[in-house]
Amino acid sequence: MNDEDEAMVKEHIRKYEEWEDSAEGIYSETNIVAGAVDEERLIVQVLQRIPREVRKAAMENVAFVVVANCSYVQPTPTRHAVMIVLLLGLHETIGVKLTTIAHEIAHYWLDRDNEFPGTGAGGKKAEKAADDLCESWGFGRSYNNYDLIPGGET
């Protein structure tokens, strides 16, 4: 390959990676079924803000379903191992919604090596771990008091 070709290939790869990181790229490569359009944008926003490694794994393995007040949604058959169902209250602030989405992705990430993902989530320890990770990504915490969560230390 001559220098000119190599520069062209590099530029092509750079442009592709730039697209991959853009809201448009993330949206087109993520399985989102939503009864509410605005919430799709919030999922994309969260995916754009979390570490690349986590985003790629989430896009590969998670199908997102957003349920609004009442929703008629038609999920397409999915190869995704995990489904995150988001029940986002109509009166919640955008900040709370973003935190909820990031918190659920944190559960996925922390639980990713579990043979039966999702079954281990819940309980004080799991909720605090998800909140800690979520906060490290720059979002808020979902819980103020972990003692109110049933499920002991699991």
Closer Cβ to Zn ion, 33 or 130, answer by number: 130
Which SS3 state, helix, strand or coil, does residue 65 take? strand
Q: Name the one range near Zn ion by CB under 5 A: 5-13, 44-52, 121-129, 132-140.
A: 121-129
Residue number with CB closer to Zn ion (25 or 118): 118
Residue 84 and residue 65 in contact, taking contact as beta carbons nearer than 8 Å: yes
| Shortest CB 127 distance to Zn ion, Å | 5
The stretch among 2-10, 34-42, 82-90, 124-132 that binds Zn ion (CB under 5 A) is 124-132
Smallest gap from Cβ 111 to Zn ion, in A, equals 10
3-state secondary structure of 82: strand
Span from 9-17, 35-43, 69-77, 119-127 in contact with Zn ion (CB under 5 A)? 119-127
Per CB under 5 A, the segment of 33-41, 47-55, 120-128, 146-154 that binds Zn ion is 120-128
Asked if residue 107 lies in contact with residue 126, where contact means CB atoms within 8 angstroms, the answer is: yes
For Zn ion, the binding residues in 125-154 under the rule CB under 5 A are 127, 130
CA dist 95 and 116 (Å) reads 30
User: Which residues, at least 6 apart from 85, have a Cβ–Cβ distance to it below 8 Å?
Assistant: 65, 66, 67
Shortest distance (Å) from residue 30 CB to Zn ion? 20
In the chain, the amino acid numbered 137 is: W
Q: What residues form DSSP beta bridges with 94?
A: none
Of 32, 131, 36, which Cα lies nearest the Cα of 83? 32
Q: How far is the CB of 123 from Zn ion (least distance, A)?
A: 9
Binding residues for Zn ion, rule: CB under 5 A, are: 127, 130
